[in-house]
Amino acid sequence: MAGESRYRYLAQSLPQIVFETDLSGRITFANCDALRSFGYTKDDVPANLDIFQLMHGGDRVRARRQFRAAVAGHRIRPVEYAVQRSDGAAFSILVFARAVLRKGRCVGITGIAINLTDETHLLSTSRSFMAGVTRAQEEERKRIARELHDGTGQSLAALSLQIDATGRGAQQLSREMIERLQHLRARTDSILEGIRRFCLRLRPEVLEQLGFLPALELLAEELKNEAGIHTLVEASGLERQLPADTELALFRITQEALSNTRKHSGATAATVRVRFGRGTVRLTVSDNGNGFHVPRLLTEFTDLGKLGLRSMQERAHQLNGTLALKSDRGLGTTVVVHVRA
């Protein structure tokens, strides 16, 4: 009895539907989430309620067939059913069930069910939240880039001109002083160029000014100039302009993938391929670097602190697309994104 009480306590704490039935299908136990999902309280559950009464439409026949199979000792796979609340509203659940054995004899069925409507709503809410966060990030990037360009950038440009004018206008300056001014001018111009590159990463205006493929070519050229990694951009299919949010997401994914190539891969070459299909776009970013072990779930990257890879996946999901990551030790890394556009 102590073991059964512990089981009931644990079952009540789970955020999924947990139930037990006798051999006729009558419900002998339902946890709090089961009652909530089906619209009952402890006080108004019908005394002889069975699981088949909860099924919607034609799924009752299928449920009875699966129930008999489980009672007979057959292993049954998870099954999705349409069910209904006490007020008649229908929703979907995924049921994992097995026989309850006591002294080697089946006495009923126990199982866990996932409310797919809740899961879908949670996923939709999560993606909506992430889309809002992404939009806020893009707006903040634009603001920072604008302030850097209009403030710090303009000030440095003015300083560079003043240094140049000082060097040209002073007749009595020593050669050493002139060389110092030239060095300061070169340092100022270098810092200004760095700010311009940083602004480009923050706010890819080239997407609006030149288009999607030229923006990718600028990323490739930047990687080649800064890290010496030979990078090509290849396009196939019928090229066309994509929706602005799609272009921005694919640009950011490419930017992150090439940044990882520069920082971690040890690669000497990389390739960005864009294939325009009928109503689809496939983006592939690959390198010939060291590669790494890819965990079974990309969500594990969050636990490892690799938020860039999770960000790439989220951007793909926001477009209702898919992202696949392929890598292995010594075999390089490939990121493949497929979206409808």
In the predicted model, what is the mean pLDDT of residues 262-274?
92
- Same domain (yes/no): 112, 217: no
**Per mean pLDDT, which range of 148-157, 197-206, 275-284, 312-321 is the poorest?**
197-206
In the predicted model, what is the mean pLDDT of residues 243-271?
90
13: pLDDT confidence band, cut at 50, 70 and 90? Answer: confident
Which residue is listed with tokens 């409808």? 340
CA 230 to chain centre: 28
Mean pLDDT of the chain: 82
In the predicted model, what is the mean pLDDT of residues 188-202?
75
- Residue 150: what pLDDT? 72
26: pLDDT confidence band, cut at 50, 70 and 90? Answer: very high
pLDDT at residue 268 above 50?
yes
Q: How many domains does the chain have?
A: 2
In the predicted model, what is the mean pLDDT of residues 210-234?
90
- β-strands 230-237, 269-276 pairing: parallel
DSSP classification of residue 241 = P
Last residue of a domain, one of 78, 98, 116: 116
- Structural domain including 36 reads 2-116
CATH code of residue 277: 3.30.565.10
- Same domain (yes/no): 112, 233: no
Q: Judge contact between 261 and 232, C-beta under 8 A.
A: no
Does residue 147 fall inside a structural domain?
no
pLDDT at residue 57 above 50?
yes
Does residue 315 fall inside a structural domain?
yes
- Percent pLDDT > 90 in the chain is 23
Last residue of a domain, one of 58, 90, 116: 116
Of these ranges, 230-234, 239-243, 299-303, 328-332, the one predicted with the greatest mean pLDDT is 230-234
Residue burial 224-251, b: 16+ Cβ < 10 Å; e: rest: eeebebebebeeeeeeeebeebbbbbbb
Does residue 149 fall inside a structural domain?
no
pLDDT at residue 1 above 50?
no
Of these ranges, 102-106, 136-140, 145-149, the one predicted with the greatest mean pLDDT is 102-106
23: pLDDT confidence band, cut at 50, 70 and 90? Answer: very high
Does residue 174 fall inside a structural domain?
no
Last residue of a domain, one of 116, 149, 165: 116
CATH code of residue 95: 3.30.450.20
Does residue 93 fall inside a structural domain?
yes
Does residue 229 fall inside a structural domain?
yes
24: pLDDT confidence band, cut at 50, 70 and 90? Answer: very high
At 151-194, the pLDDT tens digits run: 777 777 777 777 777 767 656 777 777 778 778 888 888 887 77
232: pLDDT confidence band, cut at 50, 70 and 90? Answer: very high
- Percent pLDDT > 70 in the chain is 82
Which has more confidence, 133 or 303? 133
- Residue 288: what pLDDT? 93
Q: How many CB atoms lie within 10 A of CB 186?
A: 12
C-alpha 107/C-alpha 255 separation (Å) is: 59
- Residue 282: what pLDDT? 95
C-alpha 176/C-alpha 170 separation (Å) is: 13
At 72-82, the pLDDT tens digits run: 888 888 888 88
